[in-house]
Structure formats: C-alpha cells, structure tokens
C-alpha cells in the first residue's frame, strides 16, 4: 500500500458550527465522494469532552474543541461480506444468521462488515443495536442482538452466567462415533476452565468425516476448535488449529456453526428456543465434494 491507502488524521475543531466534510477535505487528499463513503462505513469518530463515538451525520454542526478522528484504510473499506438474515424479531432483541466472514465487532477503521451495522441498516423499524455475545469471524450461525440498554444488560448477564443452552454443529476429520458418546472434553484453555460435550450425529465413512453436535458450558476463545483438535479430530477448514500441512480450497469455509439457543427470557420470563434452518447448517455432502474437487 502507498501512503494514500492508509490515512490517520486527528483534527481539532476550532470554530463553532464547522462541518465535518469541509474539515476532512482540507486535511485529506480525497474527493468528497470518497470521504462520504468512508464515513458511511464507520471511518470517522468524534470526541466531545470525555466521550468518543463514530460520526456518520457529517452535516451536523460541530462544537469548538471537538476532535475528529479519521481512520482510512482502503483495503479494509473495500472488504465485502455475504448478507446476514433476520430470523426472528422480538422487538427488544432479534435473532440473526451470521454468515462466514462477518464480524461481531468493528475496529477503528470501519464497522461496515459487522452484524451490528448490518442490523442497524436493515432492521425495520430502525433501532439501536447492542452486541451481547460474539461469534468468531470464521464461524456461522445464530447470533442474538439487543435493541435497548436494559435488554443488553439482561441478555449480556445471561450469557456471562451461562444461563442458557447453546449448541453448535461441526464437521471434523475422522470417525467421532468411535469415541464415548457423548464425549465430555474439559481441557483448560489459556489456563481457564472450559467444557464441551461432543455427540456424533453421523459418520461418512467414504470421506472420513463426522458431523458432530457440540454443547458448550463455557465460552473460551476458539474453544470448540481447540477441543476438537485436542482429540485429533480437527474441524474441517480450520486453518488455525487444524493440521497445518492440510490444504483446503479457498471456497471451503470453516465448518463450525451455532445452530440453537435455548433460554428463559430475562425480560418476559418466557421460554425461548431458536433453531437455525437446516440449509444454513454444515452439510457433509457439500463439504466432501469441495474437499475432493
């Protein structure tokens, strides 16, 4: 990248009523169209007093002593992801299918590839979005978003206290049906306790692949992937914790998917159960075909 591909600019606002775009234009060698696109994707921040947040309303008059922070990265802003899909709108929160590559949280450079921003721009009626739990960028499946501060607090506490049942499905290399069923793996991760329960759903002998249900009772980073690798049954297309000598086609994504969430709603007291439609779950036949092409 050349120096114009990455710009980090901090601009002190001196005059009451100044606007963001003219200030950016004076400090950055970019067209107004390029600036607007970058701002729409989350590259501009505003510090007012002790509070800093993204700024998208570039026509909103600024105050003296405000500070604009512009983080431009051409490569990051050019990234695209497949669309998320709304599965259930419960008003105070909603349940979505997060596709491969979509982030749970943005960075200072952008938030246009995050599930939160996708929900903000597609949910009707429009509501604020609060992240209460996360899925890895490479994972797919169910993710729950809150739409009020009170809902976010209640749902975040539910996840932190593990007061719900979460199930995932993974495809792994090898025959998991030979293991004790169900198989409890409690190997610590990064020095912290972690527990996963693996149950084999199907074994494809021809391709030596197993479809496995995983229930987790903790939420450590890459827990399922690490636990699968620890029993020598790595998740298909796990390029980080799997066999480093195994080569996968670029079209094959990590075969790890959040498929169900069950809990007592902390807002209404109702029992809730959300199931991911079958077409979004890992498919043995599809993965086997991609592996052999």
Secondary structure string (H, E, C) spanning 79-132:
CCCCCCEEEEECCCEEEEEECCCCECCCCCCCCCCEHHHHHHHHCCCCCCCEEC
pLDDT one-digit tens code per residue, 11-41: 999 999 999 999 999 998 899 999 999 999 9
Determine how many CB atoms are found less than 10 A away from the CB of residue 41: 22
pLDDT for residue 128 is more than 70:
yes
pLDDT for residue 266 is more than 70:
yes
Q: What is the pLDDT of residue 242?
A: 86
- Under 8 Å between Cβ of 242 and 229: yes
- Under 8 Å between Cβ of 147 and 155: no
Angle between helices 20-27 and 32-40 (to 10 degrees): 120
pLDDT one-digit tens code per residue, 50-80: 999 999 988 989 999 999 999 999 999 999 9
Q: What is the pLDDT of residue 218?
A: 81
The structure tokens listed for 286 are 């599809």
Sheet of 67-73: strand order equals 6-12, 67-73, 44-48, 51-54
- Under 8 Å between Cβ of 175 and 208: yes
Over residues 144-167, the mean pLDDT reads 95
Compute φ and ψ for 279, nearest 5 degrees.
Answer: -65, -20
Buried b (16+ CB within 10 A) or exposed e, 107-144: eebbbbbbbbbbbbeebeeebebbbbbbbbbbbbbbbb
Over residues 186-202, the mean pLDDT reads 94
Confidence band, pLDDT 50/70/90 cuts, at residue 246: confident
Alpha carbon distance, N-terminus to C-terminus of the chain = 34
Confidence band, pLDDT 50/70/90 cuts, at residue 1: very low
The rounded distance, in Å, linking the Cα atoms of 21 and 112 is 19
Among 147-151, 216-220, 279-283, the range scoring the smallest mean pLDDT is 216-220
Question: CA 78: distance to chain centroid?
Answer: 18
pLDDT for residue 2 is more than 60:
no
Over residues 238-266, the mean pLDDT reads 92
The rounded distance, in Å, linking the Cα atoms of 218 and 220 is 6
Closest among 290, 251, 286 to 101, alpha carbons compared: 251
Determine how many CB atoms are found less than 10 A away from the CB of residue 79: 14
CA distances from 108 to 76, 85, 112, 114, 264 (A): 11, 25, 11, 12, 35
The rounded distance, in Å, linking the Cα atoms of 213 and 228 is 12
Over residues 156-170, the mean pLDDT reads 95
Q: Mean pLDDT for the chain? A: 94
């Amino acid at each position: 990248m050349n120096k114009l591909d990455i710009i980090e600019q901090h601009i002190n606002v001196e005059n009451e009523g100044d606007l963001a775009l003219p200030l950016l234009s004076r400090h950055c060698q970019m067209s107004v169209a390029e600036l607007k696109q970058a701002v729409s994707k989350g590259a501009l921040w505003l510090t007012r007093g002790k509070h800093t947040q993204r700024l998208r309303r570039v026509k909103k008059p600024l105050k003296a002593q405000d500070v604009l922070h512009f983080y431009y990265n051409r490569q990051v802003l050019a990234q695209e992801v497949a669309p998320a899909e709304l599965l259930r709108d419960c008003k105070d929160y909603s349940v979505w299918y997060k596709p491969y590559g979509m982030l749970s949280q943005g960075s200072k450079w952008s938030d246009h590839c995050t599930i939160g921003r996708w929900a903000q721009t597609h949910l009707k009626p429009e509501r604020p979005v609060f992240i209460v739990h996360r899925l890895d960028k490479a994972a797919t499946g169910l993710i729950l978003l809150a739409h009020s501060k009170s809902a976010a607090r209640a749902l975040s506490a539910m996840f932190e206290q593990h007061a719900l049942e979460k199930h995932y499905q993974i495809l792994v290399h090898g025959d998991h049906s030979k293991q004790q069923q169900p198989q409890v793996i409690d190997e610590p991760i990064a020095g912290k306790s972690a527990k996963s329960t693996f149950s084999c759903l199907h074994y494809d002998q021809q391709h030596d692949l197993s479809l496995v249900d995983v229930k987790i009772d903790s939420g450590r980073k890459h827990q399922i992937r690490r636990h699968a690798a620890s029993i020598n049954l790595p998740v298909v297309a796990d390029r980080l914790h799997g066999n480093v000598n195994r080569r996968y086609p670029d079209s094959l994504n990590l075969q790890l998917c959040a498929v169900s969430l069950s809990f007592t709603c902390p807002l209404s007291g109702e029992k809730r159960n959300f199931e991911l439609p079958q077409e979004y779950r890992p498919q043995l036949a599809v993965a086997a075909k991609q592996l052999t092409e």
